[in-house]
Amino acid sequence: MHFSRGLIASMAVILPTLALPTSSTQSKFQPAADAVPGESSLFVNYAGKKPPIASKWMKAIPATGSGPAGPDDLLFQNLLSAEWIIYSLYQQAVDTFSPSDFTKLGLPNNTYQRIAEIRDNEAGHLRIFQDQISTGSIKPGPCKYDFGLNNSASAFLALQVYIEVSSMAFLTGLSLQAEANISKSALMAIGQVETRHNVWALLDVYNTDPFSGPSDTIYPYANQILDTTNAFIVPGSCPAENPMYPAPRQGLPLINIIGNSTTAQPGSDIKFVFESSDNQPKFENGKDYYAVFYHGLNTVSVSYNPKKNSVKIPKQFDSEVGIIMVSIADEVDAPTEGSVIAGPLIILEQPGMLTLKEPYVY
């Protein structure tokens, strides 16, 4: 493509229209009941501790129409239930911590402000997902959540990174489920925002390289990732009206890794552990099993021996960037959702100091 001097000069005239809002425009908030994502600063830079959403939206909302469900209602019901978890994590941080809790860790003075702004974005996501569900279907409400933070600002920041990378992983997978083009576009648009949240954390909080390589990691079975977040839900706390989350739900055994922060690099050996004694994978004698690794757009299967319970991370993956995901399957490359018998596990390659530390690898 050729750029003329005249075109470049004209671009210099257009660019100033992209200037950031002034302090006067930032202070003009609409009432929460009327706030619309994309129109209200409540979902951009509201700094208060109270939720930026009206109480009428903070609950399960029954179907109000008698028509059929929309083609992507189930997708957005699953996504809304997941978003309640993400939003609640940030709202809990805004409620619990103060700016000094983060500056005491040596972090920039605006760290609390950024967390509040991300909370605002997540609140906007809630409203967007609610609006994507047709009047023929229920809009799931929030449950109670236990993130195990114990009033620790550093624990919150660690979990924040995992939540954001999980968001990007399941959003790319959910795009495979979407039927309507507008749904696919909405998922991509939300994914762009989640990426910015993670880039902020990697740059300002962990002072590390924010780039994940040429592609974020795609995991094809989004509901399996969503299911891992059920670990944060207090049992029996969800509204009775809420549908199953996620639907459909396989309830696969969760994988963790035994080791230290040096054992999760490409080419290294890792050993699996299945966290719940009540939910263990069932292996048949004489049958072949595989540890299926995902990184970027690549999928690599490694032979897995249930008796040894250890495998080597494929060494061809670029190291120290992005995330690696792994599941255990009874077919090479896990070609179907039903072929996965345990997992998935997210291994965060950056910031490396978090890798394998409980409870942030799940």
pLDDT in tens, 186-244: 999 999 999 999 999 989 998 888 887 888 889 999 999 999 999 999 999 999 999 99
Structure tokens at 93: 């941080």
- 231/358 Cα distance (integer angstroms): 13
pLDDT over 80 at 37, yes or no: yes
Contacts of 216 (CB under 8 A, 6+ apart): 168, 169, 172, 195, 296, 322, 323
Same domain for 97 and 217? Answer: yes
pLDDT over 60 at 12, yes or no: no
Is the residue at 11 inside a domain?
A: no
Number of domains in the chain: 2
Mean per-residue pLDDT, 100-114: 95
Residue that is last in its domain, among 217, 232, 247 = 232
Same domain for 304 and 225? Answer: no
Instruction: Give the DSSP letter of residue 244.
Output: P
Same domain for 225 and 274? Answer: no
Q: What is the pLDDT of residue 320?
A: 72
Same domain for 174 and 93? Answer: yes
- 298/317 Cα distance (integer angstroms): 8
Same domain for 301 and 182? Answer: no
How distant, in Å, are the alpha carbons of 202, 224, 357 from that of 206?
Answer: 5, 28, 16
Q: Which domain holds residue 130?
A: 31-232
**Mean per-residue pLDDT of the chain:** 85
Residue that is last in its domain, among 199, 232, 265 = 232
Is the residue at 203 inside a domain?
A: yes
Same domain for 187 and 227? Answer: yes
**CATH number of the domain that residue 330 is part of:** 2.60.40
Is the residue at 361 inside a domain?
A: no
Same domain for 67 and 197? Answer: yes
- pTM (predicted TM-score): 0.87
**CATH number of the domain that residue 176 is part of:** 1.20.1260
| Closest C-alpha to 316, from 294, 338, 347, 345 | 294
Same domain for 169 and 281? Answer: no
Q: What is the pLDDT of residue 305?
A: 94
- Most confident range (mean pLDDT) of 165-169, 195-199, 242-246, 277-281 is 242-246
Structure tokens at 31: 């009432």
Same domain for 175 and 307? Answer: no
Is the residue at 288 inside a domain?
A: yes
Contacts of 80 (CB under 8 A, 6+ apart): 126, 129, 130, 133, 139, 140
pLDDT over 60 at 17, yes or no: no
- 257/264 Cα distance (integer angstroms): 9
Q: What is the pLDDT of residue 6?
A: 45
Same domain for 107 and 223? Answer: yes
How distant, in Å, are the alpha carbons of 54, 178, 292, 328, 335 from that of 339?
Answer: 43, 22, 11, 9, 7
